[in-house]
Structure formats: structure tokens, C-alpha cells
């Protein structure tokens, strides 16, 4: 479900890949930590941080709203 949420949330997203799932004592019971690799691409120009950062914020907001996800820092 989270992969689909990420794909729907952002334009210029060429690829999204789940590369890690962690469940362990450091997390609350019933929780897991997932890590994704996201590749953004625009056919017309190179994307800058100023282009990608708002897309990442949109993805995070969608994951929070639709999947009850929270960002671990």
C-alpha cells in the first residue's frame, strides 16, 4: 500500500524501491521501519534540490495521511 501511495503522490518519480524492513526491540510493538530508494527524473532538465524537496514533502504527507506512517530521523 505504501509503494502505491508513494507512486501516486509525486510527479517525476521514475522508480521507487523498497530496500529494507526492520522490526526490532528499538521500535514500538507492532511497528516496523521501512526504507525506500526513490529516483526522480525530468526528461527536459536536471532536477535540483528545490525541485525534489517539495515532492518529498508531498510523498511524506501522503504516507502519513494514507498509511499512518511517520518519518524516523
Reported as a single tens digit per residue, the pLDDT across 17-57 is: 999 999 988 888 888 999 999 999 999 999 999 999 999 99
Greatest Cα pair distance, the chain, in angstroms, is 46
Spatial CA neighbour of 13 closest among 56, 64, 57: 56
Could you tell me if 11 and 55 are in contact, meaning their C-beta atoms sit under 8 angstroms apart?
A: yes
CA-CA distance, 68 to 2, in Å (whole number)? 10
Q: What is the pTM of this model?
A: 0.87
Collapse the DSSP code of 8 into the 3-class scheme (helix H, G, I; strand E, B; otherwise coil) and give the result.
helix
Spatial CA neighbour of 14 closest among 54, 33, 41: 41
Amino acid at each position: 500500500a505504501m509503494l502505491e501511495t508513494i507512486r501516486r503522490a509525486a510527479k517525476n518519480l521514475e522508480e521507487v524501491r523498497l530496500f529494507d524492513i526492520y522490526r526490532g526491540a528499538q521500535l514500538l510493538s507492532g511497528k516496523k521501519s521501512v526504507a525506500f530508494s526513490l529516483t526522480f527524473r525530468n526528461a527536459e532538465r536536471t532536477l535540483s534540490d528545490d525541485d525534489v524537496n517539495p515532492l518529498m514533502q508531498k510523498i511524506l504527507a501522503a504516507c502519513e495521511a494514507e498509511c499512518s506512517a511517520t518519518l524516523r530521523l
